[in-house]
Amino acid sequence: MTNLAKCTWPEAAELLGPRTVAILPIGCTEPHGPHLALDTDVTIAVAQTERAIESLAAVGVQAVMLPPLNYGLTNFTDGFAGRVTLRPGTLWAMLEDIVMSLEQQDVLQIVFSNGHLEPQHVEILRGVAGDHTERGKQRAHVLFPDNTRRRWAATLGAAFAKGDHAGAYESSIVLAADPAAVREEARRALPAVDVDLIGAIRGGADSFLSAGCDAAYCGDPAAATSEEGQRLVGLLAEMLVVSIRETWPDLFA
Task: For 163-212, write each residue's pLDDT tens digit.
Answer: 899 999 999 999 999 999 999 999 999 999 998 888 888 888 899 999 99
Query: Does 62 reside within a domain?
Result: yes
Total count of domains within the chain: 1
**Domain carrying residue 244:** 4-154+229-252
Query: Does 240 reside within a domain?
Result: yes
* Of residues 99, 219, 216, the one with CA closest to residue 171: 219
Tens digits of per-residue pLDDT, 80-105? 999 999 999 999 999 999 999 999 99
Query: Inter-axis angle of helices 88-103 and 119-130, to 10 degrees?
Result: 30
Least confident of 27-36, 160-169, 197-206, 215-224: 197-206
Query: Does 9 reside within a domain?
Result: yes
| CATH number of the domain to which 57 belongs | 3.40.50.10310
pTM equals: 0.96
- Which residue has better confidence, 138 or 64? 64
pLDDT value of residue 241: 98
Query: Does 218 reside within a domain?
Result: no
* Of residues 190, 194, 174, 173, the one with CA closest to residue 182: 174
Tens digits of per-residue pLDDT, 119-128? 999 999 999 9
Query: Does 188 reside within a domain?
Result: no
